[in-house]
Amino acid sequence: MSAITLKSVKKRYQKSLVVHGVDAEIEQGEFVVILGPSGCGKSTLLRMIAGLEDITEGEILIGGTVVNKLEPRERGCAMVFQNYALYPHMSVAQNIGYALKVAGMPRAERDGKVAKVAKSVSLEAYLDRKPGELSGGQRQRVAMARAMVREPKVFLFDEPFSNLDAKLRVAMRAEVRNLHRSLGVTSVFVTHDQTEAMTLADRLIIMNSGIVEQIGKPSEVYHRPASLFVADFIGSPAMNLVRGHFAQDGYFRHGKGGMIHLPTIAPALISQEVSIGVRPELVRRVSATAKGAIAAVVDYTEELGAARLIYADADGSRIISVDTATDALGTGMPIHFAIDPADLHVFSHDTGRRIELGEAQRAATQTRINA
Amino acid sequence: MIERSPIFDFITYAAMVLGMFLVLVPFWITLVAGSQSLQEVSQVPLNLWPSTHLLENIQAAWTRADLGPKMVNSFIVAVGVTLGKIVLAALSAFAIVFFNFRARMLCFWVIFITLMLPLEVRIVPTYSIAANALLPFQVILDTFGITGLVETLSGIRIGLEWNLLNSYTGLILPLVATATGTFLYRQFFMTIPDELVEASKMDGSGPMRFFFEVLLPLSRTNMLALATIMFVSSWNQYLWPLLITTDRANFGTVVMQLKALIPAQNGTPDWNVTMAGALIIMLPPLLVVALMQRWFVRGLISRDK
Amino acid sequence: MERRAFYRNGTLPWLLLAPQLLLVLVFFYWPTSQALYWAFTLEQAWGGGNTWVGFANFLAIFRDGQYWATVGRSAFYAICATGLSMAIALTLAMFVDRALKGTRIFQSVFVWPYAIAAPAAGVAFRFIFSPEAGLIGSINDIWPGIWSPATNGWHALGMVIVCHAWLGIGYNFIFFLAALQMIPKSITEAGAMDGARPFQRMLDLQLPLIAPTVFFLMIMNLISSFTDSFGLIDTMTEGGPIGATEVMVYNIYIDGFKGLDYSGAAAQSIVLMVLVIALTFVQFRWVEKRVHYS
Ligand SMILES: Nc1ncnc2c1ncn2[C@@H]1O[C@H](COP(=O)(O)OP(=O)(O)O)[C@@H](O)[C@H]1O
Ligand SMILES: [Mg+2]
């Protein structure tokens, strides 16, 4: 039995539909991250699970029971809010222990539990402070301790690290990961930060404008994006996406008269409007004479330290390549790339969905996913 | 919204309806009684539905309390106080917030201490100067011997006199003197980012230009709020006009006339006329508040911060 | 919060401040110093010679049992009116804060009493509470003589207090609602996630978080019970029956302007001013310790 089930869940505010029928299954003990650009309905979805928003249509089940009509307190979820939402007038200990107090737990037992949880997030020295006297990272920990102390069935996180600086964010990420490993509580984590999502998630739910674009493991999402949106959204630098069509002559035609020799790809796709995609790290530099070389002109480069990004123009289409060579490259210099057809992703231009190609490509992506 | 249980929602509406009832009852009774005939209004128990005599009652009240000229006076006072306060308060708050001069904090406190003492509390002292508002200056001149000096030099005796009794200035100026408006503007000016001042300096505009072209347009909401608050509070003044006007016929305000509308102990209990009068006297500030609610609420609140 | 960008100009700020300073000087500082002068001197009627009497005027009023009765009555009046008005306004604000459909209409009506002149409300309530008229007076038909503000001091005082409380509802409501709305929604939601029911959240979260506003309003209401009371009492009871509704401000008015005891009235004014200033200082000290939402 799944820990959480979403059955065509919809949310409507006045007239606008902000969550368009989401279906998902979240397994017991799984760490699921809902990822998407801001405003796409992630928080709304999470808050419907928490019971903070009414569910317009569809059903949400937690532990097999429909919870649509249940109050937040009856759902067994704990939540960590984006701005922490600590009670400013209560001490850290009171903040953490409030849920227990409400539940009527005797004082002594409560204090013991609070102390134990505080210790697990290294807050034991701050129990008497008010939230206003804590640093951002400490507040974050209080918020987590407050969620943990109730031993909930489900943890919900709404962009909990977005107010922290980059370094602290990385540290907190590791901490959450460890906590999850030791507690094993089903967790749903909302973020718009793909690095955070990729590093934390067992599985990702990728959303865009209220629609689920893809559900899958981080490596699946990366190596086999189900849609143009996912291909573009996941990965940094973003995937090269070139719009055009396959012609009879075995060339892919794009941009202003651009031609890429891709003979064996897919006879069925001929003259259909598509986008082909390839990850910048899989775009190789080759010599001008290499077979199937794509001629381009360097626009500019970006130094990353370990490598550099080459932004080039191939007959009106932008090509980005991750390059480890160290030769001097100036604007306007000619450059040549090659791509392996097995590394290609093809997306229908009409539907934005992925088009599966032949066995070779499937095998190549599968190897990467498994790696 | 959480806990949208129908029962709790019902309780919420029930409480709000009850509150509405509580708030509206006096208005309703005023309207109902004001629209009834003498016979109807004397009924026990009172019929709680309006009758048809509102206009004639208003007419009766209007002549009995001579409300025509009093309305004009009330408007002059309310508008005068409102305008005076908006202008003076903006200028003084501008000086206090945006200029760096030595006595800045002193001026701040000199003005703000007045916030603590509403007119009613210091009514006796304020009245003491009604006969001659310029007395302090006379005293200053006398103490420093200037009066004597001028008299010996030119033969003219300086006699400063400014009687406030029975005058619009006497009705208006003491109400303008309080710091409410200055405080409100100051609170708002403090939220103007330094960068805006700096940008304006970089553009080469001086302080007055900044005041007129940047600050005033930005403070429109606050001005509306202040105007509402001041209009209501000056229209509703009672004690001060009562003291400063001995010539009621010419300088009385409508609120002062309320008492004159109350039926005499052993006269006809024509409460219908009284209530009709009360109704039109309450109406102007009520309309202002109802129409300006959005702005004035914001203005009131920012006083607190 | 201090500014860093200032204008520097020798005379301009003084020009800008001059009108306000002048008014404050003429209508505030000068009269106040006059009042001090009157309070410590004894005056032969209006404008006669004044003789220095030290604290004699104060001692005179402090020795007067009548004065203490007035002070006690004022305190009772202030506490009852403040408590009643704030309790009603807070309750209404709490429910309005739930922001159910149609709440807007209620919200704007609850502000209305703010617009009403105290004497106007006084007149309306006088009619409502009149023993002869057909509202509250109707109960005299059932139990003759049970309601009689014209002879029973407690009835009269109660009537004035109720009216005062009603007048304050609008102002208190505005502040309470604003304070409640300033509490981040997520704190309420966190409370709900922690299992607290609405009523418990009110007690544990909302009320402590708006404590500074509660305190601020308490002071403002107490001050207003000195100021607004005049218009009410003058139109409703004129201090009667037999002085049962005479409060401090009304007493000053009667002594000073009807009784022409200028020195006594000045001394009473000083006492009242000191009282208000003390209350305000308490308020300022408290405001510094406002709750900050991080
Ligand atoms: N209370 C509300 N009323 C109307 N629209 C809302 C409300 N809350 C959120 N929305 C809209 O719903 C969409 C999704 O919001 P949200 O779930 O907060 O996005 P995310 O968390 O992904 O950034 C946004 O376009 C937002 O404007
Ligand atoms: Mg969000």
DSSP H or E stretch at residue C220: helix C211-227
**Nearest atom, ligand 1, residue A190 CA:** 21
Assess B267–C contact: CB distance below 8 Å, yes or no: no
User: Does ipTM come in above 0.95?
Assistant: no
Which residues in chain B touch residue A72, judged by CB atoms under 8 angstroms apart? Answer: 2
From the list B272, A147, B82, the residue with the least C-alpha distance to C134 is: B272
C99 touches chain B (CB under 8 A): yes
The pLDDT tens digits for B173-205 are 888 888 888 888 888 888 888 888 888 888 888
- Name chain C contacts of A102, Cβ cutoff 8 Å: 194-196, 200
Nearest to B173 among C23, C133, C266 (CB): C23
Looking at the domain assignment, is residue B212 inside a domain? yes
Q: Please, which residues bridge with residue A26 across strands?
A: A4
* Rounded-to-integer distance, Cα B153 and Cα C278, Å: 49
Which ligand has its closest atom nearest to the C-alpha of A37? 1
Ligand 1: which residue has its CA nearest to atom 8? A44
Query: What span, in angstroms and rounded, lies between the C-alpha atoms of B125 and C249?
Result: 13
Distance CA C119, CA A309 (A): 79
pLDDT for the residue A32: 96
Give the torsion sign (CA, C122, C124, C129, C131).
positive
Q: What are phi and psi of B268, to 5 degrees?
A: -70, 130
CA B132/CA B138 separation, integer angstroms = 10
Is B236 strand, coil or helix?
Answer: coil
Tell how strand A203-208 and strand A31-35 pair up. Answer: parallel
Residue ranges in chain C whose pLDDT is less than 70:
1-3, 43-49, 286-294
A232 vs C5, more confident: A232
Q: What does the block give as tokens for A124?
A: 């034991």
CB atoms near residue A315 (< 10 Å): 18
pLDDT in tens, B57-89: 888 888 888 888 999 999 999 999 999 999 999
In chain C, the residue whose alpha carbon lies closest to the alpha carbon of A53 is C189
3-state secondary structure A258-324: EEEECCCCCHHHCCCCEEEEECHHHCEECCCCCCCCEEEEEEEEEECCCCEEEEEEECCEEEEEEEC
Render pLDDT for A192-202 as a digit per residue (tens, 0 to 9). 999 999 999 99
Cα of A38 vs centre of ligand 1, distance in Å, is 9
Cα(C254) to ligand 1 centroid in Å equals 62
Ligand 1 center to residue A95 CA distance, Å?
28
Confidence at residue A230, expressed as pLDDT on a 0 to 100 scale: 96
Residue boundaries of the structural domains of chain C: 79-287
Query: What span, in angstroms and rounded, lies between the C-alpha atoms of A66 and A248?
Result: 54
Is the pLDDT at B305 greater than 60? The verdict is no
Count of other CB atoms within 10 angstroms of residue B104: 16
pLDDT of residue B263: 85
Average pLDDT of chain A is: 91
Across A203-210, average pLDDT: 95
Given ligand 1 and candidates A9, A10, A13, A35, which is best to mutate, with the most ligand atoms within 8 Å of its CB? A13
A204 Rama class: left (phi>0) / alpha (psi -120 to 50) / beta: beta
Chain C residues with beta carbon closer than 8 angstroms to that of B177: 23-24, 26-28
CB neighbours (10 Å) of residue B140? 13
CATH number of the domain within which B89 lies: 1.10.3720.10
Residues with CB under 6 A from ligand 1: A 13, 18, 36, 38-44
CA A178 vs. chain centroid, Å, equals: 19
The pLDDT value recorded for residue C48 is 58
Among C8, C120, C9, C55, which Cα is nearest to C263's? C55
A51 chain-C contacts, CB cut-off 8 A: 192
Mean pLDDT across B147-165: 73
Integer Cα distance of A248 and A216 in angstroms: 35
Cα distances from A87 to residues A368, C98, C208, in angstroms, run 47, 19, 10
Ligand 1 atom having least distance to the Cα of A42: 22
- Cα distance between residue C11 and residue B195, in whole Å: 24
Instruction: Over range B76-103, report the average pLDDT.
Output: 91
- What burial class does residue C168 get, using C-beta atoms within 10 Å of its C-beta: 0-12 exposed, 13-18 middle, 19+ buried? buried
Average pLDDT score, chain C: 85
* Closest chain C C-alpha to B236 CA, distance in angstroms: 5
Closest listed residue to residue A150, CA positions, set B233, C161, C195: C195
The answer to whether the CB atoms of A84 and C294 lie below 8 A apart is: yes
- Shortest distance between the Cα of A141 and any Cα of chain C, in A, equals 15
Question: For position C192, what pLDDT does the model report?
Answer: 92
State the pLDDT at residue B303: 43
Closest chain B CA to residue C113: B23
Q: Are strands A345-348 and A354-355 parallel, antiparallel or unpaired?
A: antiparallel
- CB-based contact (8 Å) between C63 and chain B? no
Q: What is the pTM of this model?
A: 0.85
Q: Cβ of B96 and C17 within 8 Å?
A: yes
pLDDT tens-digit readout, A64-76 = 999 998 888 889 9
Q: Answer whether A88 sits within 8 Å of C293, measured CB to CB.
A: yes
Given this model, what pLDDT does residue A241 score?
94
CA distance A110 to C194: 14
In DSSP terms, A318 is beta-bridged to: A313
Are the C-beta atoms of A208 and A229 separated by less than 8 Å?
yes
Structure tokens at C182: 């300033």
Yes or no, beta carbons of C294 and A88 under 8 Å apart: yes
How close A311 gets to chain C, by Cα (Å)?
Answer: 43
For residue C294, the model assigns a pLDDT of 43
Distance from CA of C184 to the nearest CA of B (A): 13
Question: How far is the alpha carbon of B108 from chain C, nearest alpha carbon, in Å?
Answer: 10
Q: Report the alpha-carbon distance of residue B205 to residue A252 in Å, rounded.
A: 61
DSSP string, B71-132: HHHHHHHHHHHHHHHHHHHHHHHHHHHHB--TTHHHHHHHHHGGGGS-TTTTHHHHHHTSS-
Rounded Cα distance between C230 and C71, Å, is 15
Residue A197: how many other CB atoms lie within 10 Å? 22
**In this predicted structure, which of A179-188, A255-264, B273-282, C61-70 has the lowest mean pLDDT?**
A255-264
What residue in B sits closest to A54 (Cα-Cα)? B1
**CB contacts, 8 Å: A14 with chain B:** none
Element (H, E) at B250: helix B248-251
Ligand found nearest the CA of A82: 2
- What kind and span of H or E run contains A10? strand A4-13
Integer Cα distance of B101 and C17 in angstroms: 12
Q: Which atom of ligand 1 is nearest to the CA of A47?
A: 17
Residue C238 Rama label (left phi>0; alpha psi -120 to 50; beta): left
Tell which phi-psi region holds residue A282, choosing left (phi > 0), alpha (psi between -120 and 50) or beta: alpha
Phi-psi region of B97 (alpha: psi -120 to 50; beta: other; left: phi over 0): alpha
**Given a cut of 90, is residue B149 above it in pLDDT?**
no
Structure tokens at A210: 């209220």
Minimum distance, in Å, between the CA of residue B133 and any CA atom of chain C: 7
First and final C-alpha spacing in chain B:
28
Residue C203 CA, ligand 1 centroid: distance in Å: 30
The domain total for chain B is 1
Max Cα distance, chain C (Å) = 76
B-chain CB neighbours of C21 within 8 Å are 92, 107, 110-111
> What is the CATH code of the structural domain delimited by C79-287?
1.10.3720.10
User: Is the minimum CB–CB distance between C235 and chain B shorter than 8 Å?
Assistant: yes
State which residues form the domain around B175. Answer: 6-304
B1 lies in some domain: no
Pairing status of strand C41-43 against strand A334-338: unpaired
Among C132, C189, C235, beta carbon nearest to B258? C235
Residue in B123, B187, B216, B244 to test binding to C, most C beta-carbons within 10 Å: B123
**Nearest-by-Cβ selection for A85 from C189, C195, C204:** C189
Res A266: pLDDT: 67
Distance, CA of A31 to CA of A43 (rounded, Å): 16
Within-domain flag for B277: yes
Check pLDDT > 80 for residue A220: yes
Chain C nearest-CA residue for A50: C193
Those chains having 3 or more beta-carbon pairs within 8 angstroms of chain B are: A, C
Interchain contact, C196 vs A98, CB within 8 Å = yes
What is the greatest pairwise CA distance in chain A?
81
Percent of chain B with pLDDT over 90: 22
Measuring CA to CA, how many Å separate B5 from each of A71, A131, B2, B19? 9, 32, 9, 21
Q: Which of B263, B264, B245 is nearest to B254 (CA)?
A: B245
> Could you please report the per-residue DSSP string of A91-160?
-HHHHHHHHHHHTT--HHHHHHHHHHHHHHTT-GGGTTS-GGGS-HHHHHHHHHHHHHTT--SEEEEEST
Residues with Cβ within 8 Å of B216's Cβ and at least 6 positions away in sequence, in order, are: B90
Q: What distance in Å separates the CA atoms of residue B114 and residue C21, rounded to the nearest whole number?
A: 11
**What spacing in Å lies between the alpha carbon of A97 and ligand 2's midpoint?**
27
Residue owning the nearest CA to atom 17 of ligand 1: A41
C-alpha A43 – ligand 2 centre gap (Å) = 4
* C-beta separation of B82 from B233 below 8 A: no
Q: Is A182 exposed, middle or buried (0-12, 13-18, 19+ CB in 10 A)?
A: exposed
Q: Which residues of B touch A51 (CB under 8 A)?
A: 2
Neighbours of B281 (CB within 10 A): 30
pLDDT the model gives residue A257: 82
pLDDT over 50 at B304, yes or no: no
Residues 6+ apart with CB under 8 A from A245: A252, A253, A269, A270, A271, A272, A273, A274
Instruction: Choose between A259 and A80: higher pLDDT.
Output: A80
- C26, B262: Cβ pair inside 8 Å? no
B92-108 mean pLDDT: 87
Ligand 1 centroid to residue A62 C-alpha, Å: 23
List of chains touching C (3+ CB pairs within 8 A): A, B
Q: Where are the beta strands (DSSP E) in chain C?
A: 41-43, 50-52
